[in-house]
Amino acid sequence: MIKILSILVRNRPGVLSHVAGLVTRRGYNVESIAAGPTENPEITRINLVVSGDGPILEQVVKQVRKLVDVIRVDDLTNDQPVTGELALITVKVSGLKRAEALNVINLLSLTISDIKEDSLTVMVAGTALTVDMAVNGLKPYGIVAMARTGLVALPRPRNGKPKESKERD
Amino acid sequence: MKEKSKGVGPKKTAEKKTAADKKLAAVKAQASKKPVKAKTDLAGGGQGGGQVGGQGALGRVKFTPRNGAQTIVDFLESVGVDTVFGYPGGAVIPLYDALYDSKIKHVLTRHEQAAAHAADGYARSTGKPGVVFATSGPGATNLVTGLATAHMDSVPMLAITGQVSTTSLGSDSFQEADIYGISIPITKYNYLVKDARALPGILSEAYRLTDYGRPGPVLVDVPKDIQTTIVNPDNLLPDSVPLRFEKPPSPDLASVDSLIEALHVSHRPVLYLGGGATITNSGADILTLVERTDMAVVATLQAKGVFPDNHPLCLGIPGMHGSKYANLAINESDLILGLGVRFDDRVVGNVRRFAPLARVVHVDIDPAEIGKRLPVDVAVIGDLGQVLSLVLKRLPKNSRPAWRKRVAELRSTFPMDVPQSSREIKPQAAIRALSDSCKGQAILVTDVGQHQMWAAQYFQAQKPRHFLSSGGLGTMGFGLPAAIGAQLANPKSLVCLIVGDGGFQMNVQELATIAQYQVPIKIMLINNGCLGMVRQWQQFFFNRRYSQTLFDYNPDFVALAKVYGLWAESVEKSDKVTQMVKALISQKGPALLDVRVPRDENVLPMIPAGMGQTDFFETEEGAN
C-alpha cells in the first residue's frame, strides 16, 4: 500500500529536516519526497509518498501531523489527486540506435533538453505513469543518468474551489 | 530608544563599533531601571554587539537597549523562572554576563548532562518547565542524554545553548556542533536563532511549547553574535505564520459516551495510569472514579503516587516487574482503561497476549499515541482533566463487589512480601524501611536499574510528583542530578534518592554541586558492587556469563561523600537498617547511606521481554 500525503508546513529553516528525520527514524518507507513553495511564500508544500501496511501508514500521518511546523496534512491517496512528476533522462546512443531512440522520443512526445554526438537528454513531465513509460521506453537504449523529482500532488478541486482552502477557512 | 539609521540591518550595525557604544553605555546605565554595571554593557558590545541609533536617538530614550543575552534573561524573569541549571563556556559568556545582573538563581552543576537532569528533576517535581543553559559544541552535546530523557517522559524543559557566531556557522569552527540537527529527534521542537529580531518571538513560543499539550523539551540555539546584538522591540521580525496555541479540542462526546458505556458494562475493569495522569494533576478525579467503579488500578513509573499506593485497589506497577496480582488482574480484566499512557513494551510485553479478554479504551491528548503499539477499541483524544470531568458527570455509581473480592484474592494469593534476612541486607527491605520512615511525604528520586524497580515495588508513594524516575529512556546517572533539581525546586520537602553504585558513579561529580549549594538530599546507595539489572539478565538468559557487569573496584563511598562534606555512613547488617535509615533522613544537610547488599539479589517477579502477562520467569530457587 502507498499513501500520498500533501503536507503544508511553515517555511522555517530546518522544516524539511524535521519531516525527513521523522520518517527516517520511525522506519517508514519513503517512496519519494518533494518540497517546494506554495502560492504563499511562507508556506511550503511537501509531498510525501510512503509505503507500508495500514496501521503503519496511519502512524505516519499522525506523527507528521504532530510536528510543530506542520499546518495541515491531507491524505490524497483515495482522493484522485492531481499529480505530476518530472524526470530528466540521458541515454547514450549513436548511429542507427539514435534514430530508433528518437522515434521513441517522438512517440512519447518527450522534450529533448540536450543533444550530444553520442547522447540525448530528454525531459518528461506528466503523471508517474507517463514518467515510468518514458523510462521503460528508453531503457533498451541504455539510460546512463536519470533524475526524477518525485511525485507532487494537489487535492483535486471540486466545484471550482480547491477542497483544501475551503477547509482551511 | 528607536532605531534611527534606516536601512541598516542589525548585522551591519553589529559590525561597526563606534564611540556611540560608550555613550550608549552611559545612557543605559542612567536610563536602566535595573542597575546595570558598565562592564556588562561593554562586554555586550565587545563581541561586535549592536548599537542603537545615532546621536539624535540619545535624546529620546524609550527603552533600555538590551542585547540578545539580556533579552533572554529578561524573558525568563518575565515568565517567572526562578532557577536555571547550567554550565558556562565561550559561546555563552554574554548570556552568563546578562545573568550576572539577574535575580534568577543559577545552579552551577559540574557537568552539562547533570544540569539537564537537574532541570528535569525541577520540572518533574513542580510541573513548571525546567531551564538549562549550556555552551556550544561539547556543552550542547552533553545535554543530549538529558534532553532525550525528558523527551521520552514528556517533561517540559527549555534548553538554551550558545552557538558560534552566525558568521562562522557551518565552517567547523572551534566548539561548533550542529546541536539543532542533533536535537531534532530528541526535542519537541528546536530553534537556531539566525536573526536577533526573531529572538523575542522565538523565546516566548519556545517556552510556551514546553508545556503546551503534551509537554516536552525545547531547545533554542543562540549564536554568540545574536547574544550581543541589540534587540530593538520596535523592530522585530514578525512571524508570518505564527503558531496558534489553541486550547486542545474538546473531547469528542460520542467517544466519551463509548468510554462510559464500555466501563458501565464491564465487570472486571482495570485502570491503567500513565504520565498523563500526573501532568494533568488528575489524582482527585481518579480517586472518585475508582470509588465509583471499583476499578483495579495499575500505575506506571510516571504515574506512581497519583493514586495512593496504599489504597486496597492499587496494584502498583504493571508489566515486566509488576506484581503477579497486577499482571493477573490485567490478564483477567474485561476492560483496560488507559489514561495518559503509551502502552509501552515494558508494560504490555507481547501485544497479542496483553489483556486477552479485555476491550481497550485509551484516553490521550496525543492522537499519535492511539494505536501506536496496541489496537484499541475506544479512543478518546483530549485533555485528561476534561475527559475525566465529562465522565464523572455522567457515570453512574456501579460497585463491583465480586471484582473487588477477586482483586483482594489475587493480592493475598501472590503477595509482594518484603524479602527478609537475618544477616545480609535485602535491598527491598532497605527501600521499604526508607518508605516507612518517610511516611509517604518524601519526594523520591531513583536512578535506573534494579533499585529502581525495587523502589517502584516497595516504596509507597502517596502524592503525585513525588516519585521521579527516568522511565522511558532508562537513563543511568539521572538520579543524583534530578534529586538536586527536585530539592532546589522544593527546598522545604524531604527529597530522597535511591541510587545504585553504577548510576551513582555516572554523575558522581555532582557531589560538588550538592556541597556548594548545601542541597540537603538524602541518598540511599544500594551498593551491590555490580550492574545488577544486566547481571540479572545474564544470570537468567545468558548462562551466568557475567560479562563486564561485576565491579572489581569500587571506591569507599562513605569516604568519598565525606570528602564533599556530606554526612555518610555505611550499613551492612539487616538489623541495623531501620536505625540507619532514620539517621539518614534526620540529617539536616546532605547525607548518604551506603547500604551494602548482596550481589545476587534479583528483581522479581519478572516477565521476560516480549512475553505474555502470565509468563512469569521461574528461577531455579523457585522464588518467583
Q: What pLDDT is attached to residue B15? A: 39
How far is the C-alpha of B488 from the C-alpha of B586, rounded, in Å? 18
Is B98 found in the same domain as B206? yes
Total number of residues shown for chain A: 169
Q: What pLDDT is attached to residue B63? A: 64
Is B590 found in the same domain as B505? yes
Among B181, B240, B241, whose Cβ lies nearest the Cβ of A17? B181
User: CA dihedral in degrees (B383, B387, B390, B392; nearest 10)?
Assistant: -130
**Cα–Cα distance list, B162 to A98, B133, B186 (Å):** 60, 8, 18
B561 domain-assigned: yes
CA distance, residue A123 to nearest chain B CA (Å): 35
Is B487 found in the same domain as B358? no
Among residues B70, B85, B112, B459, which one is catalytic?
B112
The residue of chain B with its CA nearest to that of A22 is B185
The three cell numbers locating residue B538: 545474564
Is B397 found in the same domain as B291? yes
Is B409 found in the same domain as B431? no
B465-508 per-position pLDDT tens digit: 999 999 999 999 999 999 999 999 999 999 999 999 999 999 99
Side-chain half-sphere exposure of B264, counting CA atoms within 13 A = 12
How far is the C-alpha of B68 from the C-alpha of B194, rounded, in Å? 11
Q: Would you give the DSSP letter of residue B61? A: -
Residue from A62, A64, A67, A69 to probe the interface with B (highest B Cβ count within 10 Å)? A62
- Radius of gyration of the CA atoms of chain A, in A: 19
**Judging by DSSP bridges, how do beta strands B269-273 and B335-339 pair with one another?**
parallel
**Cα–Cα distance list, B610 to B198, B285, B348, B354, B475 (Å):** 48, 33, 8, 10, 21
Chain A residues in contact with B364 (beta carbon < 8 A): none
CB A48 within 8 A of CB A35: no
Q: Identify whether B112 is a catalytic site residue.
A: yes
Is A63 found in the same domain as A92? no
B132 domain-assigned: yes
Q: Identify whether B175 is a catalytic site residue.
A: yes
Is B291 found in the same domain as B267? yes
B46 pLDDT tier (thresholds 50, 70, 90): very low
Is B96 found in the same domain as B222? yes
CATH number for B191: 3.40.50.970
The residue from A58, A75, A92 where one domain ends is A75
A166 domain-assigned: no
B449-469 per-position pLDDT tens digit: 999 999 999 999 999 999 999
pTM value is 0.89
Question: Inter-chain contact A62–B241, Cβ cutoff 8 Å?
Answer: no
Q: What is the DSSP string of B369-423?
A: GTTSSS--SEEEES-HHHHHHHHHHHPPP---HHHHHHHHHHHHHS--PPP--SS
B81 domain-assigned: yes
Is B380 found in the same domain as B438? no
B575-588 per-position pLDDT tens digit: 999 999 999 999 99
B604 domain-assigned: no
Q: Give the E-state strand segments of B182-326 in sequence order.
A: 189-192, 217-223, 230-231, 269-273, 296-299
CA distance, residue A100 to nearest chain B CA (Å): 49
Q: What pLDDT is attached to residue B18? A: 44
Backbone angles phi, psi at B282, to 5 degrees: -95, 15
A63 domain-assigned: yes
Q: Identify whether B424 is a catalytic site residue.
A: no
Backbone angles phi, psi at B303, to 5 degrees: -110, 0
Q: What is the DSSP string of B175-204?
A: T---HHHHHGGGSSEEEE---GGGHHHHHH
CA distance, residue A160 to nearest chain B CA (Å): 26
CB B199 within 8 A of CB B71: yes
Is A86 found in the same domain as A71? no
Is B121 found in the same domain as B35? yes
Question: Inter-chain contact A68–B209, Cβ cutoff 8 Å?
Answer: yes
Is A61 found in the same domain as A125? no
CB B275 within 8 A of CB B316: no
CATH number for A136: 3.30.70.1150
Is B344 found in the same domain as B269? yes
Q: Which amino acid is at B323?
A: S
CA distance, residue A76 to nearest chain B CA (Å): 19
B607 domain-assigned: no
A22 domain-assigned: yes
The three cell numbers locating residue B223: 549564536
A162 domain-assigned: no
B304-353 per-position pLDDT tens digit: 999 999 999 999 999 999 999 999 999 999 999 999 999 999 999 999 99
How far is the C-alpha of B77 from the C-alpha of B381, rounded, in Å? 34
Q: Which residue shows C-alpha cell 525531459?
A: A123
Question: Residue B82 class from Cβ within 10 Å (0-12 exposed, 13-18 middle, 19+ buried)?
Answer: middle
**Cα–Cα distance list, A37 to A44, A70, A126, A161, B239 (Å):** 5, 14, 19, 20, 17
Among residues B224, B304, B426, B522, which one is catalytic?
B224
Question: Inter-chain contact B241–A42, Cβ cutoff 8 Å?
Answer: yes
Supply the range of the domain harboring residue A134.
82-152
B209 CB near a chain A CB, below 8 Å?
yes
Q: Looking at the 3D structure of chain B, how many domains does it have?
A: 3
Among the residues of B463-554, which ranges form H helices?
Answer: 479-489, 501-506, 511-517, 532-541
Question: Inter-chain contact B184–A17, Cβ cutoff 8 Å?
Answer: yes
Question: Inter-chain contact B241–A25, Cβ cutoff 8 Å?
Answer: no
CA distance, residue B363 to nearest chain A CA (Å): 16
Question: Residue B463 class from Cβ within 10 Å (0-12 exposed, 13-18 middle, 19+ buried)?
Answer: middle
Residue from B184, B192, B362 to probe the interface with A (highest A Cβ count within 10 Å)? B184
Question: Inter-chain contact A66–B368, Cβ cutoff 8 Å?
Answer: yes
Chain A residues in contact with B192 (beta carbon < 8 A): 13-14
Q: What pLDDT is attached to residue B556? A: 98
Among A43, A63, A71, whose Cβ lies nearest the Cβ of B368? A63
Q: What pLDDT is attached to residue B248? A: 81
B370 CB near a chain A CB, below 8 Å?
yes
Q: What is the DSSP string of B6-29?
A: TT--HHHHHH---HHHHHHHHHHH
Give me the average pLDDT of each 10-residue run along chain A (169 residues).
94 91 88 93 94 87 94 92 95 91 93 94 94 94 94 86 46
Q: Mark B337-370 as b/e (b = at least 16 C-beta within 10 Å).
A: bbbbbbbbebbbbeeeebbeebbbbbbbbbbbbb
Chains A, B: CB contacts within 8 A come to 39
Average pLDDT over every residue of B374-402: 96
B249 CB near a chain A CB, below 8 Å?
no
How far is the C-alpha of B173 from the C-alpha of B163, rounded, in Å? 10
CATH number for A11: 3.30.70.260
CA distance, residue B370 to nearest chain A CA (Å): 9
Q: What pLDDT is attached to residue B62? A: 57
Within the 163-202 window of chain B, which residues sit less than 8 Å (CB to CB) from chain A? Answer: 180-181, 184-185, 188-190, 192, 194
B35 versus B259: the higher-pLDDT residue is B259
- Residue B129: alpha-carbon gap to chain centroid: 10
Among A22, A43, A68, whose Cβ lies nearest the Cβ of B243? A68
B619 domain-assigned: no
Instruction: Give the number of other CB atoms < 10 A from CB of residue B86.
Output: 28
B465 domain-assigned: yes
B542-576 per-position pLDDT tens digit: 999 999 999 999 999 999 999 999 999 999 999 99
Q: What pLDDT is attached to residue B238? A: 85
Picking from B405, B429, B400, B408, the residue whose alpha carbon sits closest to that of residue B417 is B429
Question: Inter-chain contact A58–B181, Cβ cutoff 8 Å?
Answer: no
B602 domain-assigned: no
Q: Looking at the 3D structure of chain A, how many domains does it have?
A: 2
**Mean pLDDT (chain B, rounded):** 91
What residues have CB less than 8 Å from B550, skipping those under 6 apart? B529, B530, B531, B535, B599
Among residues B2, B11, B175, B617, which one is catalytic?
B175
Is B181 found in the same domain as B39? yes
The residue from A75, A90, A109 where one domain ends is A75
How far is the C-alpha of B462 from the C-alpha of B92, rounded, in Å? 41
A158 domain-assigned: no
Among residues B416, B453, B533, B580, which one is catalytic?
B533
Chain B residues in contact with A17 (beta carbon < 8 A): 181, 184
The residue of chain A with its CA nearest to that of B181 is A17
Q: What pLDDT is attached to residue B244? A: 85
Question: Inter-chain contact B241–A65, Cβ cutoff 8 Å?
Answer: no
B368 CB near a chain A CB, below 8 Å?
yes
The three cell numbers locating residue B138: 561539547
- Model confidence at B31: pLDDT above 60: no
How far is the C-alpha of B47 from the C-alpha of B14, rounded, in Å? 9
Average pLDDT over every residue of B412-435: 96
The residue from A75, A99, A121 where one domain ends is A75
Supply the range of the domain harboring residue B45.
10-231
CATH number for B289: 3.40.50.1220
B1 pLDDT tier (thresholds 50, 70, 90): very low
Is B458 found in the same domain as B530? yes
How far is the C-alpha of B355 from the C-alpha of B361, rounded, in Å? 12
Residue from B210, B220, B240, B376 to probe the interface with A (highest A Cβ count within 10 Å)? B240
CA distance, residue A63 to nearest chain B CA (Å): 6
A126 domain-assigned: yes
Is A91 found in the same domain as A64? no
Total number of residues shown for chain B: 624
Average pLDDT over every residue of B386-405: 96
Is A46 found in the same domain as A103? no
Question: Inter-chain contact B241–A55, Cβ cutoff 8 Å?
Answer: no
Q: Identify whether B588 is a catalytic site residue.
A: no
